[in-house]
């Protein structure tokens, strides 16, 4: 039989064009509604939609019709996220007729800004919602965008039933969710006093991963910034009230913060350093000498020798300088370095990234040879993550 593929293809193109010219009039209302919805949601379909024959169809029927963009691209060829966004927008147009909607993994295929747009399309910001929407998500963006009254934590109980716990709009809970929504996606949470503790745990996790050992995050345990000693207990308690296993990692230079006793009574755990010590004091006091010298050089790399020298002199009232702290170390050197690292004129390791490097490059490799105070605090926290928290 002669090869007729080119003739068949030409006939198909002619049929699609001819059908589109006539169908556009009959389906104008539908096409206009779809185009308006797509444009409102930021889905690019050109100047408008067209109804054309599906190029994949063999027989003719209603299933033969496919919607195309103005450039002839079938809507079914849009990305998964764009299709979900468009369907959600159309759902809102018929919400009176279809009042319940289920959406699994809301964020699938969508960039963060389009996740927010999808939530809007589902009616999350409506004063008087026209439909009831059940959504599951692993996206911190979605959690941050929703109000506490729209968020629920679903948990399996020890009896095999499920408990649905509303996040609610109480200031402490709502504020906690806004600051670190990723906490609601964890199995357990370490609420750290500040960024440096978060960095330390992240760095230790990186080191453990490098050694092929289990990490906190691999166990579903996430460190979050508690916002300082005045907020850490409140935020840990807020997460605890939602059924999360929580612990606190804090300094011990100011003593126990208000409310910590009630938090512990309710089942929370607290990990801290020796009395009178902040994290920097603990590290310089308990790490082996070679590791302390490595910390000093990391500080010099960050702030420069003149500044590091000035911080040490100020912390020791002029009794010590950088050169002295590069030699053999006595207790006075370690105490001075701990103070210098916290200088109000320029701290050494207060950011997440700075302390993450310290945890990975210094504390992790030296932990086994460190003093009992530092070593046991880290080991106890890891034991809680492995056993008590899960």
Any idea what DSSP says for residue 169?
Answer: -
285 located within any domain: yes
- pTM equals 0.77
Domain count for the chain, please give it: 3
Q: What's the confidence (pLDDT) of residue 202? A: 96
DSSP 261-286: HHHHHTT-EEEE-STT--HHHHHHHH
What radius of gyration do the chain's Cα atoms show? 30
Q: Which of 284, 190, 201, 293 is nearest to 246 (CA)?
A: 190
27 and 112 both lie in a single domain: no
d(CA 341, CA 314): 11
378 and 256 both lie in a single domain: yes
Q: What's the confidence (pLDDT) of residue 14? A: 61
- Segments in the chain below pLDDT 70: 1-28, 30-31, 34, 37-98, 388-390
| Joined tokens for residue 319 | 């009794």
Q: What's the confidence (pLDDT) of residue 386? A: 86
95 and 60 both lie in a single domain: no
Give CA separation, 201 vs 196, 211, 236, 260, 291, in Å.
9, 15, 17, 21, 17
Q: What's the confidence (pLDDT) of residue 32? A: 72
Give CA separation, 221 vs 166, 239, 380, 381, in Å.
22, 13, 14, 11
188 located within any domain: yes
117 and 190 both lie in a single domain: no
306 located within any domain: yes
Boundary of a domain, candidates 44, 78, 112: 78
329 and 347 both lie in a single domain: yes
d(CA 288, CA 329): 10
190 and 310 both lie in a single domain: yes
Measured in degrees and rounded to the nearest 5, phi and psi for residue 104 equal -100, 135
306 and 371 both lie in a single domain: yes
The domain containing residue 53 runs over which residues?
Answer: 12-78
390 and 255 both lie in a single domain: yes
333 and 345 both lie in a single domain: yes
183 and 133 both lie in a single domain: no
Q: What's the confidence (pLDDT) of residue 64? A: 47
319 located within any domain: yes
How many Cα atoms within 13 Å fall on the side-chain side of residue 123?
Answer: 21
40 located within any domain: yes
172 located within any domain: no
106 and 72 both lie in a single domain: no
| Joined tokens for residue 267 | 């089942």
Place of tokens 């998964």: 80
Boundary of a domain, candidates 50, 78, 106: 78
Q: What's the confidence (pLDDT) of residue 30? A: 67
The helix (run of H) or strand (run of E) holding residue 11 is: helix 5-26
271 located within any domain: yes
d(CA 337, CA 347): 11
168 located within any domain: no
d(CA 127, CA 147): 12
**SS3 (DSSP) at 110:** coil
231 and 341 both lie in a single domain: yes
Boundary of a domain, candidates 23, 51, 78: 78
């Amino acid at each position: 039989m002669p090869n007729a593929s080119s003739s068949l293809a030409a006939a198909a193109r002619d049929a699609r064009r001819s059908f589109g010219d006539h169908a556009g009039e009959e389906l104008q209302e539908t096409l206009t509604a779809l185009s308006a919805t797509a444009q409102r949601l930021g889905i690019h379909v050109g100047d408008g939609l067209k109804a054309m024959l599906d190029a994949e169809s063999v027989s003719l029927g209603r299933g033969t019709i496919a919607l195309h963009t103005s450039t002839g691209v079938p809507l079914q060829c849009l990305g998964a996220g764009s299709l979900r966004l468009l369907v959600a927008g159309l759902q809102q147009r018929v919400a009176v007729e279809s009042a319940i909607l289920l959406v699994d993994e809301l964020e699938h295929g969508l960039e963060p800004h389009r996740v927010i747009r999808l939530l809007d399309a589902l009616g999350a910001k409506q004063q008087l919602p026209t439909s009831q929407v059940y959504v599951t998500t692993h996206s911190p963006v979605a959690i941050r965008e929703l109000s506490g009254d729209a968020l629920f934590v679903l948990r399996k109980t020890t009896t095999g039933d499920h408990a649905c716990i509303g996040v609610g709009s109480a200031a402490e809970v709502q504020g906690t969710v806004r600051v670190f929504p990723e906490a609601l996606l964890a199995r357990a949470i370490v609420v750290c006093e500040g960024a440096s503790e978060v960095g330390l745990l992240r760095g230790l996790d990186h080191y453990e991963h490098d050694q092929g050992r289990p990490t906190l995050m691999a166990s579903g345990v996430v460190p979050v910034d508690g916002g300082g000693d005045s907020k850490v207990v409140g935020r840990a308690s807020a997460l605890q009230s939602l059924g999360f296993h929580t612990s606190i990692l804090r300094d011990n230079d100011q003593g126990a913060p208000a409310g910590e006793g009630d938090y512990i009574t309710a089942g929370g755990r607290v990990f801290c350093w020796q009395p009178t010590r902040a994290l920097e004091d603990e590290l310089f006091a308990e790490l082996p000498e070679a590791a302390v010298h490595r910390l000093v050089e990391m500080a010099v790399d960050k702030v420069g020798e003149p500044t590091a020298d000035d911080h040490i002199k100020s912390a020791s009232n002029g009794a010590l300088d950088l050169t002295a702290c590069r030699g053999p170390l006595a207790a006075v050197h370690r105490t001075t370095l701990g103070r210098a690292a916290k200088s109000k004129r320029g701290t050494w390791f207060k950011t997440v990234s700075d302390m993450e490097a310290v945890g990975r490059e210094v504390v992790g490799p030296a932990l086994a040879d460190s003093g009992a105070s530092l070593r046991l605090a880290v080991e106890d926290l890891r034991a809680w993550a492995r056993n008590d928290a899960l």
